Amino acid sequence: MNELLSKYLKVFRLIHEQRPGLLLYALFFSLTTVAIPYLILLMTTLVLNGLLAGDSFGRLLIKVLLVGSITLTCQIAQKFFETKRDAAYNEFNINLEKATTLKLLTISYFQLQDPEMRAAYQKAKEGTTYSGGFNQFIRSVLEDLLNATIALIIGIAAVVTLLWADGSKILPQPWEFLVNDWGFALVILLCVVTPIFLNLILTKKKNEIEKGLFEFYTNVNRQSGYLFNTIFDYQNGPALRLYRGNQLLYDEMIKQNNRFLKRSLEEDRKSSNLTDGGNALISLLLIPIFLLVAAKGYVGAIEVGSIFLYTGYFTQLVAALNQAFVAFAAGNMLLGFLDFYFDFLALDPQENGSLPVEKRNDNEYEIEFHNVSFKYPGAETYVLKDFNLKLMIGQRTAIVGRNGSGKTTFIKLLCRLYPVTEGRITLNGIEIDKYDLKEYQDILAVVFQDFKLFAFSVAENVAANRHFDSQRVTDALYIAGVKDRVATMPAGIESILYKELDDQGVEISGGEAQKIAIARAWYKDAPFVILDEPTSALDPFSEYEIYRRFDDLVEDKTSIYISHRMSSARFSDRIVVFENGRVVQDADHQTLVQRPGLYQELFNAQAQYYVEDLTDDQLATLFS
Ligand SMILES: Nc1ncnc2c1ncn2[C@@H]1O[C@H](COP(=O)(O)OP(=O)(O)OP(=O)(O)O)[C@@H](O)[C@H]1O
Ligand SMILES: [Mg+2]
């Protein structure tokens, strides 16, 4: 119970933090809403009793005007608070969206990839939509529970007054017990308590159904979301059409839809049978209550008009209790989803060191891996194992190795995108985690193997910023060999890429995109330049151009160049060969090409395709 209460409080705190005032507006709205039916009941009873007691017209008028104006004020206040509440709720939604987006952008890449976190996030998001979200939560908890509390207080007061009220007339047997104190209390108690028990059982059953249904819905949503997005994404169009994948996807979609329809129909039927049965039974219990009130009226314990008032109170009480149960059950289910937001927003941003990275004009930054081992979250095997490597200042290092040997993983560890499992990585002798993350990442300019550009302008992509230096952007595009292509675009460097955010956006080829990614790395002007397969999509001319301008691209910075193009090693001072997550060879090209080993094998294998009849020696001189 305590845990449940603290969960409720957590969600309320979150709502209050994101939009102070919202809960207050909602509370006042609920109070005014709940009060109106009682006021109307009261007014009718006053008029009835007044009429029966032979009140003067003037007296009746005063009564009506008094209660009427209170009711009207309540109604005006209700509308006022409703508008305020709705506006505040919209702001709350926007603020929550802002907060979650910011969190997604600032948690570590490691956490962002964590399948458990992703699943929980998706569940919370879908669950919120599915069950009405915070709006429904505020409504059910505040309005319905408040309604029930008020109804209960008034109900108890009504029972007590009725108990005290005795009449002079006598009821015929066997109905005497109805106005007898004990009989009256017992029947009333039974009538109020039975629906509570009944509801407890019903809601428990309904909750089980709902829970199962929700799990099912989220699964179906995730899968059909994937199917739909795959079909809708035009970039998938060619593969789908040429491999006749359309039928595959369509059939799967239909299968999903049918599964969804069948299950939801079944569950809906089960659920509404339960609700209908329960409601009918609860309504039936109103009969004995009415009988009690009528009996009190018959013996003259209450005025005739008050019969109306009391039956009204009790009808209200039964309905409110009923609603409160539904609300409580819905609230608990909602809690399961909403509570996640609280935990999500409380996630720590990536662990950040406090040391500033010393600004040095001489670029004297030295990074070293000491016995580093790493495995991906949830994976069994190590991708890097007892890995040692020192990157010498100003040195150009080429990294080669088979697919899956750990080259890209090595770069990601270097960039602090993942924490090492064992060992240490140091910058100028100090563990990289101790440095301020942003400052540390500022010293690295990386072209990732799976580089990504965004649907912003070319210049914004290159500068990774809304403010940019046009001249530097143009220089960067020149060095990456894409300046002329950008010049042909309608708005030059300010042309928007892709059509996601702008209908007029420019579509570019894979190679053109890769060149812009290279330009982005140059623009950053960082002491380390890291290029992971940066020319994989480039044509031979473009690749040659990049090689030719390599000096401009890398200048005197420390650089890492990962490539399967063995000839690229010629502009490296040092070649490091990866095999199964370890460094197996480390020397210059001249040395390695003459020494039996993986480098020689890789080199020869590739050279064969180009110049089949050259000897190894000839090949070696050709590429040296
Ligand atoms: N996000 C990930 N989660 C789990 N395992 C991964 C992940 N990324 C890579 N791996 C695994 O780590 C191993 C090394 O991958 P990595 O990308 O570092 O290789 P690589 O040397 O860059 O290969 P390539 O030459 O193909 O680019 C692979 O076998 C892969 O299965
Ligand atoms: Mg790779």
Which helix (H) or strand (E) covers residue 246, if one does?
helix 245-284
CA-closest residue to ligand 1 atom 5: 376
**CB of 536 closer than 6 A to ligand 1?**
no
Distance 530 CA to ligand 2 centre (A): 12
User: Mind listing the pLDDT tens digit for each residue in 75-119?
Assistant: 999 999 999 999 999 999 999 999 989 988 888 888 888 877 887
Task: Specify the pLDDT at position 613.
Answer: 52
Task: Looking at the CA of residue 449, tell me the nearest atom of ligand 1.
Answer: 27
SS3 for 601?
helix
Distance 83 CA to ligand 2 centre (A): 55
Of all ligands present, the nearest one to the C-alpha of 384 is 1
Distance 409 CA to ligand 1 centre (A): 6
Distance 234 CA to ligand 1 centre (A): 27
**CB of 563 closer than 6 A to ligand 1?**
no
User: Mind listing the pLDDT tens digit for each residue in 557-587?
Assistant: 899 999 888 877 767 889 999 999 999 999 9
Quick check: bond before 419 cis, omega within 30?
no
| Contact by Cβ (8 Å): 390, 562 | no
Distance 450 CA to ligand 2 centre (A): 9
| Contact by Cβ (8 Å): 102, 49 | no
Task: Specify the pLDDT at position 614.
Answer: 52
Q: Candidates 387, 408, 417, 420: which one to mutate for ligand 1, based on the most atoms within 8 Å of Cβ? A: 408
Task: Specify the pLDDT at position 610.
Answer: 57
List C-alpha distances in Å: 75 to 30, 179, 501: 11, 38, 45
User: Mind listing the pLDDT tens digit for each residue in 587-623?
Assistant: 998 899 899 999 988 888 877 665 545 556 655 555 5
Of all ligands present, the nearest one to the C-alpha of 579 is 1
Task: Specify the pLDDT at position 452.
Answer: 92
Q: How far is CA 539 from the centre of its chain?
A: 40
- The full DSSP string for 62-114 is HHHHHHHHHHHHHHHHHHHHHHHHHHHHHHHHHHHHHHHHHHHHHS-HHHHH-
CA-closest residue to ligand 1 atom 19: 404
**CB of 409 closer than 6 A to ligand 1?**
yes
Residues of the chain with pLDDT under 70: 1, 570, 608-624
Distance 559 CA to ligand 1 centre (A): 21
Extract the tokens encoding 236: 């998938």
Extract the tokens encoding 22: 């919202």
- The full DSSP string for 480-549 is TT-HHHHHTSTTGGGPBBSSSS-TTPBP--HHHHHHHHHHHHHHH--SEEEEESTTTT--HHHHHHHHHT
User: Mind listing the pLDDT tens digit for each residue in 506-561?
Assistant: 999 999 999 999 999 999 999 999 999 988 888 888 888 888 888 888 888 899 99
